[in-house]
Amino acid sequence: MIICEYVQHVSLAVTDLTSARRFYKKVLGLQEIERPNFHFPGTWFAIGAQQLHLIVNPRAQTLREIPTIDSMESHFAIRIANYDAAIRHLSSIGVPFVANPGSATGWKQIYVCDPDGNVIELNSL
């Protein structure tokens, strides 16, 4: 049997590293961390004890064509400290989002997309 302890990292394919890096640093406020010198471009970010790995793949099947943010698409979630502050921040910088303050989960949710259309859930108790 395999005993899983925790999620160590999530990897996302991106097509434009500059735009993706800017989004994850400036919009979500993630801290960029050291990445090994792989034979392909990418960048890593810390999310608490976990990591987010962005991998440049020009052939990636992105969601850029989808005109709306859909919470039923593949996504990952980040727990945030302040729901209302996140709404104000996203609104002030013009980032589209879908807010779901009355989720059946019991926590408030915000859905955003990165420049490649990868869906990210931000949630708060």
**How many structural domains comprise the chain?**
1
* Spatial CB neighbours of 122, under 8 Å, sequence gap ≥ 6: 28, 77, 78, 80, 86, 109, 110, 111, 112
* Spatial CB neighbours of 45, under 8 Å, sequence gap ≥ 6: 24, 25, 30, 31, 32, 33, 51, 52, 54
What is the pLDDT, as a whole number, of residue 4? 84
What is the pLDDT, as a whole number, of residue 45? 98
pTM more than 0.75: yes
Torsion sign (Cα): 100, 103, 107, 111: negative
- pLDDT tens per residue, range 88-100: 999 999 999 999 9
Q: Classify residue 39: in a domain, yes or no.
A: yes
Confidence label for 70 from pLDDT (cuts 50, 70 and 90): confident
User: If you average pLDDT over residues 64-80, what whole number do you get?
Assistant: 81
Q: Classify residue 85: in a domain, yes or no.
A: yes
Structural domain span for residue 63: 9-124
- pLDDT tens per residue, range 2-36: 888 889 999 999 999 999 999 999 999 999 999 99
What CATH number is attached to the domain comprising 85?
3.10.180.10
Q: Classify residue 87: in a domain, yes or no.
A: yes
Give the rounded percent of residues in the chain with a pLDDT score beyond 70. Answer: 94
